[in-house]
């Protein structure tokens, strides 16, 4: 069966290549081609096996042009990570925006966990990137910032449902919930599917008691 082509999320503010900014359409297309080929190579053999020379050859880009946009392999991986995070943040914002009561918050958050888990299972590039987070301080910082941003979205929804609750406490809880969620996803996809599903369900039960107490 033919393997599905990895999807590269669209560029967003704050997730531009760390090298030369692609201002012209031709340059932007070249960056997107490089990221698409990098994602395909990572899906095939993992990020550890990604070689800049092979990437340039497969993308039909000179090695000099590649280094102008991405000075090293880590820059490519971080750009992909930030794009996946931005895609996830947009999904979270859309799901939580209409929340106005406890039942709505429970449904929205549980649905988000299921959606994110499905994406993790379906996206080998995303799994590969985040599986190596403990060995990459830059990725750790990206994850912390992402958890803060996602936590702020969750805290806003919690505050609408629990207007009398201490806002600082809500923000701390939401940040912790999101950070634990990232760790749970990595653990769930590292074990067999049955155990992974059980871990996700356990996470949902645990955090729903915190974000929507009876």
Assess whether pLDDT exceeds 70 at residue 158.
yes
Q: How many residues does the chain have?
A: 214
Q: Tell me if 35 is assigned to some domain.
A: no
Within a domain: 151: yes
pLDDT tens digit sequence for 184-200? 999 999 999 999 999 99
Whether 13 is in a domain gets the answer no
CB 110 within 8 A of CB 204: yes
DSSP track, 58-120: HHT--HHHHHHH-SSHHHHHHHHHHHHHHHHHHHHHHHHTT--SHHHHHHHHHHHHHHHHHHH
Domain assignment of residue 62, yes or no? no
Q: Which helix (DSSP H) or strand (DSSP E) does residue 39 occupy? A: helix 25-45
pTM for the structure as a whole: 0.85
> Is the residue at 9 inside a domain?
no
Share of the chain above pLDDT 90, in %: 76
Total domains in the chain come to: 1
Is residue 132 over pLDDT 80?
A: no
- Residue 131: predicted pLDDT: 80
Contact at 8 Å (CB) between 208 and 106?
yes
The range of the structural domain enclosing residue 142 comes to 81-211
Which carries the bigger pLDDT value, residue 148 or residue 135? Answer: 148
- Domain assignment present for residue 159? The answer is yes
């Amino acid at each position: 069966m033919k393997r599905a082509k990895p999807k590269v999320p669209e560029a967003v503010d704050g997730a531009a290549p760390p090298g030369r900014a692609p201002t012209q359409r031709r340059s932007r297309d070249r960056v997107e081609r490089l990221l698409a080929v990098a994602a395909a190579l990572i899906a095939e053999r993992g990020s550890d096996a990604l070689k800049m020379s092979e990437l340039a050859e497969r993308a039909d880009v000179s090695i000099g042009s590649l280094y102008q946009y991405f000075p090293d392999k880590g820059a490519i991986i971080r750009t992909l990570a930030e794009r996946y995070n931005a895609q996830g943040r947009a999904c979270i914002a859309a799901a939580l925006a209409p929340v106005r009561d406890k039942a709505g918050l429970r449904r929205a958050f549980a649905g988000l966990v299921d959606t994110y888990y499905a994406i993790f299972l379906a996206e080998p590039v995303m799994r590969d990137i985040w599986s190596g987070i403990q060995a990459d301080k830059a990725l750790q910082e990206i994850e912390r910032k992402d958890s803060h941003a996602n936590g702020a979205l969750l805290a806003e929804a919690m505050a609408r449902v629990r207007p009398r609750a201490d806002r600082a406490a809500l923000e701390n809880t939401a940040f912790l919930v999101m950070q634990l969620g990232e760790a749970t996803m990595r653990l769930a996809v590292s074990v067999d599917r049955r155990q992974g599903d059980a871990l996700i369900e356990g996470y949902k039960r645990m955090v729903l008691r915190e974000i929507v107490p009876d």
